[in-house]
Structure 1
Amino acid sequence: MIRFPGVDLDALRAFVAVASHASFNDAAIELNLSASALTRRIKRLEEALDLMLFERTTRTVSLTSSGELLLPRAQSVLRELDASLQLVTEATRIRAGQLTIACIPTVAKFLLPKIVSSYHRKRPEVRLRLIEADLSTVARRVADGEAEFGIAFLVNETPELAIDELLVDPYVLACPADHPLAKSEHVAWRELRPWPLIVSGTTSGNRRMLDAALRDIDWRPDRLIEIEHLTTSLGLVEAGLGISIIPRCASPRDPQSRIAIRPLVEPTVARTIGLIRRRDATLPAVARDFRLTLRRMAPLDPAWMQPE
């Protein structure tokens, strides 16, 4: 058997990264390597194979005919390895009886305790790992296989992810109890314009959802206070610094709260909270039981969305 002692996984990953980016610099960034370290790996691979894999100029990097022949085979080797490691990791996690769930903060605070309680009564031996994160992180954790499920909403359709719908969560107005808008039973979006608005930043999933749904309506006030967390917005509203738009499930539960909640209309905008999972994933038994628990609970009791 012919052996190539200079060929290892690091060298193959370096080769595939450079070929994919057609750039040593971009490949080095992806692999978190210095440019010199990446160059050494490619040189070691070429010397081991006694082949030139790339044609380099001051401006371009392209594959040689040998490189083109190697690329699909190197990609296949790395895919097989990653799949095998993932299989081993999942098998170990199944034996340990662990289930990882990623969720957005509003779900973690208001819905997740009831969901987890119901599941725990059925499977008390399962160790649950809960990850509280923003929407993009939840989706990424599920897509990467770091979490079996996410409980959140999707702004756009994502080919690798599917969502089992649980409940529809409309956006509502939060304003001080003595605010002029609190006198109405419901409020149109355009009526918000005269008032300072406390709103999530443009990277927020809620903000992207609202901007997409209301792109044809001139609803946003000129005076904005941008925040990262909905709990911050409620504190600012209670202090009288402005009004805010929140999902109904984030409404204050304290009956003594000085915040008024009013439906927003013309149009009604809502997010659909659901169980996010990978479309092509084979779920372990603990995950299938969790999904079944939620399907039996859906649609979730609307009373969960109201102050206690």
Structure 2
Amino acid sequence: MAIGKFNELYPNIKVRILEQGTNNCMESVLCNESDFGINMNNVTNSSIDFTPLVNEPFVLACRRDHPLAKKQLVEWQELVGYKMIGVRSSSGNRLLIEQQLADKPWKLDWFYEVRHLSTSLGLVEAGLGISALPGLAMPHAPYSSIIGIPLVEPVIRRTLGIIQMSYGQRMAAKMPCFLRQLNAFLPC
């Protein structure tokens, strides 16, 4: 993990993590509460620079014993009829999904609504439904009872990157070092 490696290199530098949605993350950077943020590429403020880090597809998260778990690929339409666990309708991830599926004649059943992707994984693990989430949000432990399957027709992707103040704002001294560690841990 990037933070762990950074801590090994710089054990005396404290890190504060603010778990926020897209808009709150941008606001934290704008008011200098945060040196930088990791956010989706829907930044609309001219005072903010966005540097892409990774472009990732959405995947289906379901239990290994779910009927869709045996498939290599799952079409979005195949999710119809299942209870969906999703982040709030105002979140960047949810808005992206709904925007990409807006012209489809079918609708997903967003049965459970949560604030954080990690909460949706807990509900999936409990067998309460399935979730569509960015691939990087999936657990990577081999013992996990949850499997991630690529979602297609259409393939929906999000771009994550670093947001920071444009022009003239001084970057925290060790921020470039942290960003190098972060880049080393992200898939190409």
User: TM-score per shorter chain, which class?
Assistant: 0.7 to 0.9
Deviations 1:130-172 (A, max 9, x none): 3222222111100112111012223343322111111122211
Is structure 2 residue 17 aligned with structure 1 residue 130? yes
Alignment check: 8 A CA contact 1:174 1:246 kept? yes
Residue pairs, 1:15-26, within 5 angstroms: none
Picking from 270, 276, 298, the partner of 2:183 is 298
Deviations 1:53-84 (A, max 9, x none): xxxxxxxxxxxxxxxxxxxxxxxxxxxxxxxx
* Deviating 4+ runs (over 6 angstroms): none
SS in 2 for 1:206: helix
Give the C-alpha shift of residue 260 in structure 1.
2.0
Between the aligned partners of 1:217 and 1:292, the Cα distance in structure 2 is 44
- Alpha-carbon distance change, 285 to 139 in structure 1, aligned in 2, over 3 angstroms: closer
Deviations 1:203-252 (A, max 9, x none): 22211222223322345324622222222222222222211111111112
Between the aligned partners of 1:213 and 1:266, the Cα distance in structure 2 is 10
Counterpart of 2:76? 189
Counterpart of 1:141? 28
TM-score by length of 2: 0.85
- Alpha-carbon distance change, 144 to 223 in structure 1, aligned in 2, over 3 angstroms: closer
SS in 2 for 1:132: coil
- For the aligned residue pairs, the C-alpha RMSD in angstroms reads 2.4
Higher relative contact order (CA 8 A, sep 6+): 2
- Alpha-carbon distance change, 260 to 293 in structure 1, aligned in 2, over 3 angstroms: closer
Between the aligned partners of 1:226 and 1:135, the Cα distance in structure 2 is 17
Counterpart of 1:160? 47
Between the aligned partners of 1:260 and 1:285, the Cα distance in structure 2 is 38
Structure 1 regions of 5+ residues with no counterpart?
1-113, 304-308
Alignment check: 8 A CA contact 2:29 2:165 kept? yes
SS in 2 for 1:298: helix
- Alpha-carbon distance change, 149 to 196 in structure 1, aligned in 2, over 3 angstroms: same
Q: Which has the higher strand share?
A: 2
SS in 2 for 1:130: coil
Q: Which has the higher helix share?
A: 1
Between the aligned partners of 1:172 and 1:116, the Cα distance in structure 2 is 25
Structure 2 regions of 5+ residues with no counterpart?
none
SS in 1 for 2:69: helix
TM-score by length of 1: 0.55
Is structure 2 residue 142 aligned with structure 1 residue 255? yes
Counterpart of 2:57? 170
How many residues align? The count is 188
Between the aligned partners of 1:297 and 1:176, the Cα distance in structure 2 is 29
Identity across the alignment (%): 36
Counterpart of 2:103? 216
Higher-Rg structure is 1
